[in-house]
Amino acid sequence: MSAVPESIPDVVDVEWLRGARANPESPPDLLVEVPHGADRRAHYDRLRAELRGDLPDDLHCFFHINTDVGAWQLGHRVAEQLVEARSTTGVLLLRSLIPRTFIDCNRPVDPATAGSGSGELAGDTLTPGVPPYVRDPDDLALLVERHARYVESARLAFEHTCGNGGLAFVPHTYGPHSLDIAAVDDRIVDRLREATRPEALRDRPLRAEIDLLTRVGNGPDMAPHGFEAELLAKFGAAGFDIRANDTYDLHPGSLAHDWSHAYPQRVLCLEVRRDLLVQEWRPFEEMHVDPTKVEPVANLLAAVLAVRVSG
């Protein structure tokens, strides 16, 4: 039996949900991994207080607009519904506690080059693992060490679940529009304020309500067999604007891609538009999830997963 990750303060919360008849000794049937789970202002403030170096003014604004509010609540509710529907099922849940504003737990990070990039976002470049505004050597060391501990916890969780025949669900949320941002750098807050002016957003279409991340470009479907077609059909029939690999795809610069490559047809990754899950869309302030908005999305996801998990 592979090792099981455990909670680490300020790094990762690990939780188990089991149905009434689930075997507590069995590996999980489903892993819910939320690498951008540090979505509360308290997460940001706690880590910011530990960092010594100078950082951009009002960086919390970037945190609020860029953090995956609702991803953890959605993943957790899917897990709850799954164990309610299948009493023999066990679900392992991982929530990163490290704000992606400082280091991104869905990116591989090389300690030797962390923070040395330009942060430019040309083409399909992802936001950097460590943004260039983090420069202090002690800060970089602290962040890289915590990132490594989270990624090791995730590696153990994927091995324990997918390596034993289970599935993984990796939910993300994104903002309603793609913004015209040239770089994630010292000017990121100014860039965001400019890009979110009503005049700047006027001609920018809304993103899909749900975007399935199942392929690299036009490559083969890496999600569990049949999930892409079934989710497109079920969410579409329910009135959702759902697409596959539209705003994003399963980018090879992400750890979600690495897990999907390591465990083919075992990992489902998707984006849900954040304004559909929160009480009110306020991009530069802390937002709170509305459980009644999460419920219909979780219902459909749990229904598809319930007929696939082995529990």
- Domain membership of residue 206 (yes or no) is yes
At residue 124 the predicted structure's pLDDT band, cuts being 50, 70 and 90, is confident
Mean pLDDT, residues 266-271: 98
pLDDT score of 249 more than 70: yes
Q: Any idea what the CATH number is for the domain that residue 186 is in?
A: 3.40.630.40
- Domain membership of residue 16 (yes or no) is yes
pLDDT score of 153 more than 70: yes
Mean pLDDT, residues 215-232: 96
- Domain membership of residue 6 (yes or no) is no
At residue 113 the predicted structure's pLDDT band, cuts being 50, 70 and 90, is confident
Q: What is the pLDDT of residues 230-248, one digit of tens each?
A: 999 999 999 999 999 999 9
> How many domains in the chain?
1
Q: What percentage of the chain carries pLDDT values higher than 90?
A: 92
At residue 1 the predicted structure's pLDDT band, cuts being 50, 70 and 90, is low
- Domain membership of residue 5 (yes or no) is no
- Domain membership of residue 75 (yes or no) is yes
Tokens of 311: 């529990």
- Domain membership of residue 255 (yes or no) is yes
pLDDT of residue 310: 67
pLDDT score of 122 more than 90: no
Mean pLDDT, residues 134-142: 97
- Domain membership of residue 127 (yes or no) is yes
Please state, rounded to an integer, the average pLDDT across all residues of the chain: 95
How many CB atoms are located within 10 Å of the residue 1 CB? 8
pLDDT of residue 309: 85
- Domain membership of residue 249 (yes or no) is yes
Tokens of 165: 């025949």
